[in-house]
């Protein structure tokens, strides 16, 4: 069998039943029961491999040939948890060079980058070795082909947090957002890094708000950046509607004629926040919420029209509750 560095060809695999070193093994066929609903038409090589794989697994054999058959089995089905778990038991039992295993699993990952089991196998190896030196490069290689690969991001976050490898991460995120400002995974990573390093101090919050508003101004229809802005303002004591820099930005954008549904949605939430808090002389009133929700439902976000009518109803209830509470207070 060829390794993962080249194109695998099933026809090159010598059947295990034809190998001298496997003659002492009685294969264990797959048992699908008497009347399987759907019988899978496995290839001859696949069926042969797993029949012998089940045999050594049943006997808990720890040997070079058992290690070799797990490699073949992982070629046939890289998502098979049992194959990788057994392989790890053999690696430990034979005291194998785990750096060689890292090289192998890297080749597998580069071909099977959306497979949970191969990433988990690598994670376990890194935990055993306590050596994360190649992980950021590996994930960057995967993300260069698919910038939103969930498994690569999950592994990268685990490595960074476990081994404190935050240095240079914001700069890396900058390059990703320069390539695609709508990359929601990169925005999520930015939040992850800030939250786990400096935290959202006033200074950091101000910096991140500037960064986000700059990117929103460049592409106002970018939901990812608007969501990041919302996340930032959760850490602002003033909330959504009291950060002067944000409110000025949103109002200027609105006055310019921009009707991005994400801008309007933020304005609606500002109205909800102010109405809920009593409002005062705020521009974020119930009447303004009515106009915004009507525009969203009828023109700018018609797919979620029912949601915007629900939001308007919620804000109206808050306003009514506030009025009743105020009336009760004055009568007392």
Active-site residues, by number, are: 114
Q: Which residue from 259, 176, 269, 201 is spatially nearest to 230, judged by alpha carbons?
A: 269
Contact 55, 27 (CB under 8 A): yes
Distance of alpha carbon 173 from the chain centroid: 15
Q: Which two tokens stand for residue 275?
A: 């109405």
Q: Is 215 helix (H, G, I), strand (E, B) or coil?
A: helix
Q: CA 215 to CA 173: how far, in whole Å?
A: 13
**Farthest-apart Cα atoms in the chain, separation:** 98
Residue bearing tokens 């990703």 = 176
Q: Which residue from 89, 84, 90 is spatially nearest to 112, judged by alpha carbons?
A: 84
Q: What is the DSSP string of 45-64?
A: HHHHHHHHHHHHHHTT--SH
Q: CA 93 to CA 116: how far, in whole Å?
A: 24
Q: Which residues contact 21 (CB under 8 A, 6 or more apart)?
A: 65
Q: Is 1 helix (H, G, I), strand (E, B) or coil?
A: coil
Q: Which residue from 173, 176, 179, 216 is spatially nearest to 191, judged by alpha carbons?
A: 173
Q: CA 131 to CA 135: how far, in whole Å?
A: 9
- 60 torsion bin: left (phi>0), alpha (psi -120 to 50), beta (else): left
Q: CA 194 to CA 166: how far, in whole Å?
A: 9
């Amino acid at each position: 069998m060829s390794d993962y560095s080249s194109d695998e060809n099933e026809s090159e695999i010598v059947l295990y039943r034809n190998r001298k070193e496997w003659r002492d093994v009685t294969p264990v066929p797959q048992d699908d029961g008497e009347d399987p609903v759907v019988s899978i038409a496995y290839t001859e090589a696949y069926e042969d491999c797993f029949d012998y794989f089940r045999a050594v697994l049943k006997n808990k054999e720890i040997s070079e040939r058992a290690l070799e058959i797990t490699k073949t089995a992982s070629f046939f089905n890289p998502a098979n948890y049992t194959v990788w778990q057994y392989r790890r038991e053999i690696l430990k039992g034979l005291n194998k060079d785990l750096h060689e295993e890292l090289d192998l699993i890297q080749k597998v990952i580069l071909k099977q980058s959306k497979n949970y089991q191969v990433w988990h196998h690598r994670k376990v190896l890194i935990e055993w070795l306590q050596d994360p030196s190649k992980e950021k490069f590996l994930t960057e290689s995967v993300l260069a082909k698919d910038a939103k690969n969930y498994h690569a991001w999950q592994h990268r976050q685990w490595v960074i947090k476990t081994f404190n490898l935050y240095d240079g991460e914001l700069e890396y995120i900058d390059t990703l957002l320069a390539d695609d400002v709508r990359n929601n995974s990169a925005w999520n990573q930015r939040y992850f890094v800030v939250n786990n390093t400096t935290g959202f101090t006033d200074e950091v919050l101000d910096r991140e708000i500037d960064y986000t508003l700059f990117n929103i101004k460049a592409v106002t229809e970018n939901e990812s950046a608007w969501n990041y802005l919302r996340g930032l303002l959760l850490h602002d004591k003033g909330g959504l509607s009291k950060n002067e820099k944000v409110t000025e930005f949103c109002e200027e954008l609105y006055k310019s004629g921009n009707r991005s549904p994400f801008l309007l949605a933020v304005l609606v939430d500002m109205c909800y926040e102010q109405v809920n808090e009593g409002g005062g002389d705020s521009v974020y009133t119930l009447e303004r919420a009515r106009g915004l929700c009507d525009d969203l439902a009828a023109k700018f976000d018609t797919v979620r029209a029912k949601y915007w009518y629900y939001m308007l109803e919620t804000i109206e209830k808050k306003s009514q509750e506030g009025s009743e509470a105020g009336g009760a207070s004055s009568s007392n």
